[in-house]
Structure 1
Amino acid sequence: MQYLARALFALLAVFYFHNTDQFYFALPQATPCLLFFAYAGLQLALLIWRPSNGDVFSSALDLLTLGIVMLLDAGSPPPTMALLFVAVLSNGLLHGLKRFLIMLAGAEIVLAFVLPIRLSYASTPDSSASLFLMAALSICMLYFGLMIWRNQVLARAALEATWRDPDTDFISREALVSTAGWLVPLHDRISSPLTLVLIQHDELPQLSDQVAQRIRRSDVAARYDATQLALLLPCTATAAAEQLLNDLRDRHPGMRAALMTLADGDIALEQALAHLEQTMARTTEDDSHWLAHAAPIH
């Protein structure tokens, strides 16, 4: 697709030169066609050969060819200057902000060589028009670069919000279900207990601070819903999990919890968490009913 776009814009430039009366410098009329075939042939060779840095060579060839095209363009300011910034835009859309900035710098370097050559042969009014067009297009490119950077920041923020809960600084429920399911068959294979815990409390951010201080680096904590945390405690028996929950309950009265030590490696993590959520309905804030043990899943 990128090669076809390059060929299309190159043909557009050929048609433009075909309908102009003269070039900026005296050259044979066949020059644009020869330039087109040379450019398209080199780009096709890079497309077929596919060297390790082929896209970089293609972009550099774009800048070099457009610099030559601007020297041929008799328009003042040269309309083909727009193609230079089209190349910058396309690289930014395809390869991101870093390539966009590199191409923008390369375009400015090409203009720094081409415009002085053109302006040395031009009258003052023509010089002003060319410089104004270059400045306007450069500012537009900088604005477009800021928009690319903004979109990248927003995309990273959206991804972070999806995978990490901002209130508790634990991973989200989606991240837990998507990435931690492998712990269930692993602990079944090594015959090690894996205990799942759901904790419910109205002041979840404060509780999460205590949980973060008490759990081990091998444990997994996640925001499960508006008032619940989910814990995966590898190599942890039921009694050890109960001790952890009792300590948390002493610091946070009103906390409720449900736990289950998995004994079947074929159970899906999402199924086990849903089973714990149903078990949580049996708990109350009373000291004698705040903790519930989930029945084994059959």
Structure 2
Amino acid sequence: MNSTNRVSSEQGAIILQYLARALFAVLAVIYFHHTPQFFVTVPESTPWLIAGAYLGLQLLLLVSRADYAVILASTLDMVVLGVVMLLDGGEPPPTMALLFLAVLSNGLLYGLKRFLVMLLAAEVVLAIVLPIRMAYLPEGATQPASASLFLLAALTVCMIYFGLMIWRNQVLGRSALEAAWNDPQTGFISRAALVSTAGWMIPLHDRLSSPLTVVLLQHDDLNGLADVIIQRLRRSDVVARNDEHQLALLLPCTGGAEASQVIEHLRQRVPDLRAAVLTLNSSNLALEQVLHHLQQALPRSRDDDTHWLVYAPPLD
């Protein structure tokens, strides 16, 4: 895998996100170092201690590569930023912008669903922090409170706008992926190219009385899966990008048992791989129909070692 693929992989995105966290943590410490006073009375070394503990925990999550490390890291972001806003002596607190920056970065990296979850989490943090700050304001100090509420409203509107843009880009990206001949991420052909050019293999194998097996593979890290497939499969096998996390394989002259062995070898190299298999027995099937049938069967698979492989029922 070259350097471009490393950066575009999920692990590369996690590393870049950690570097961004470290940069903003340093900037926050510098900001607090030049702040005349904190909102609450704490030792001057508190921002340094919080930043050190925060980056240390984030580094542990990065190294551990646990299943829920990314979610725990984002949760830690929200908690620490809530504490930082309670320390910020500015009114409105400038560190509030970091909270929405965390929401936006998650949306750009992990899509619209994560963006909405993080936006809800940010609103919960603000619903806790802002009343506490307002409770400690001097009596009659309405201007600082109004400024904080205005900043909150402005940032919320910006986040809604960015959320709509993320959704729009996802729709355009899916349309471009369907229309492209080659998938730029994996280097394989696209689904549209597979359906347009490989349909002839079904009647050919039926006339030759030779089995043709179609496999649908699903994994979160398609770059890693693509590297393994390139090394393990034959020249006669056809590989295509089918969906955001799916690859389609056409295995000529291969029965169901042989295809299962091939997929098991792949799963030994790529854990958490899920697959659906169908050996074709009719020349009247369209390849697009077969892929749709496998997509309906794939949700029956699970991540455990006994149910990761699904045999789709035959198509007439």
* Length-normalised TM-score, structure 1: 0.59
Cα RMSD (Å) = 2.8
1:39 counterpart (54, 57, 62): 54
User: How far does residue 120 in structure 1 lie from its aligned partner after superposition?
Assistant: 1.3
| Aligned ranges 1:191-202 → 2 under 5 Å | none
User: How far does residue 183 in structure 1 lie from its aligned partner after superposition?
Assistant: 3.4
Q: Give the structure 2 partner of residue 11 of structure 1.
A: 26
Q: CA–CA distance in 2 between the matches of 1:31 and 1:173?
A: 57
1:218 counterpart (275, 280, 285): 285
User: How far does residue 176 in structure 1 lie from its aligned partner after superposition?
Assistant: 3.3
Q: Does 1:125 align with 2:143?
A: yes
User: How far does residue 153 in structure 1 lie from its aligned partner after superposition?
Assistant: 1.9
Q: CA–CA distance in 2 between the matches of 1:32 and 1:156?
A: 43
Q: Give the structure 2 partner of residue 108 of structure 1.
A: 123
2:209 counterpart (190, 203, 209): 190
Instruction: Please say if residues 162 and 175 of structure 1, whose CA atoms lie closer than 8 Å, have aligned partners that are also in contact.
Output: no
User: How far does residue 173 in structure 1 lie from its aligned partner after superposition?
Assistant: 7.1
Q: Does 1:146 align with 2:146?
A: no
Unaligned runs of at least 5 residues, structure 2: 1-15, 182-189, 212-282, 289-316
Deviations 1:164-195 (A, max 9, x none): xxxxxxx9973335543643763465269xxx
Q: CA–CA distance in 2 between the matches of 1:86 and 1:14?
A: 17
Deviations 1:254-290 (A, max 9, x none): xxxxxxxxxxxxxxxxxxxxxxxxxxxxxxxxxxxxx
> Percent of counterpart pairs with the same letter?
57
Q: Does 1:81 align with 2:96?
A: yes
* Aligned residue type for 2:75: A
Pair 105,9 (structure 1): closer, same or farther in 2 beyond 3 Å: same
Q: Secondary structure at the match of 2:99?
A: helix
Q: CA–CA distance in 1 between the matches of 2:127 and 2:115?
A: 18
Q: Does 1:60 align with 2:64?
A: no
User: How far does residue 162 in structure 1 lie from its aligned partner after superposition?
Assistant: 5.4
Q: Which has the larger radius of gyration?
A: 1
Instruction: Please say if residues 103 and 115 of structure 2, whose CA atoms lie closer than 8 Å, have aligned partners that are also in contact.
Output: yes
Q: Give the structure 1 partner of residue 66 of structure 2.
A: 51
Q: CA–CA distance in 1 between the matches of 2:162 and 2:56?
A: 31
Instruction: Please say if residues 178 and 192 of structure 2, whose CA atoms lie closer than 8 Å, have aligned partners that are also in contact.
Output: no
* Aligned residue type for 2:113: K
User: How far does residue 50 in structure 1 lie from its aligned partner after superposition?
Assistant: 1.4
Pair 65,178 (structure 1): closer, same or farther in 2 beyond 3 Å: farther
Deviations 1:211-261 (A, max 9, x none): xxxxx851469xxxxxxxxxxxxxxxxxxxxxxxxxxxxxxxxxxxxxxxx
* Aligned residue type for 1:130: S
Q: Give the structure 2 partner of residue 96 of structure 1.
A: 111
Q: CA–CA distance in 2 between the matches of 1:4 and 1:185?
A: 53
User: How far does residue 148 in structure 1 lie from its aligned partner after superposition?
Assistant: 0.8
Instruction: Please say if residues 112 and 166 of structure 2, whose CA atoms lie closer than 8 Å, have aligned partners that are also in contact.
Output: yes
User: How far does residue 2 in structure 1 lie from its aligned partner after superposition?
Assistant: 1.2
Instruction: Please say if residues 77 and 129 of structure 1, whose CA atoms lie closer than 8 Å, have aligned partners that are also in contact.
Output: yes
Pair 116,220 (structure 1): closer, same or farther in 2 beyond 3 Å: closer
Q: CA–CA distance in 1 between the matches of 2:82 and 2:210?
A: 69
Pair 107,173 (structure 1): closer, same or farther in 2 beyond 3 Å: closer
Q: Secondary structure at the match of 1:90?
A: helix
Pair 219,10 (structure 1): closer, same or farther in 2 beyond 3 Å: closer
Q: CA–CA distance in 2 between the matches of 1:133 and 1:148?
A: 22
Q: Secondary structure at the match of 2:40?
A: coil
Unaligned runs of at least 5 residues, structure 1: 164-170, 193-215, 222-298
User: How far does residue 131 in structure 1 lie from its aligned partner after superposition?
Assistant: 0.4
Q: Give the structure 1 partner of residue 298 of structure 2.
A: none
| Aligned ranges 1:270-281 → 2 under 5 Å | none
Q: What is the total number of aligned residue pairs between the two structures?
A: 193
Q: Give the structure 1 partner of residue 195 of structure 2.
A: 176
| Aligned ranges 1:276-295 → 2 under 5 Å | none
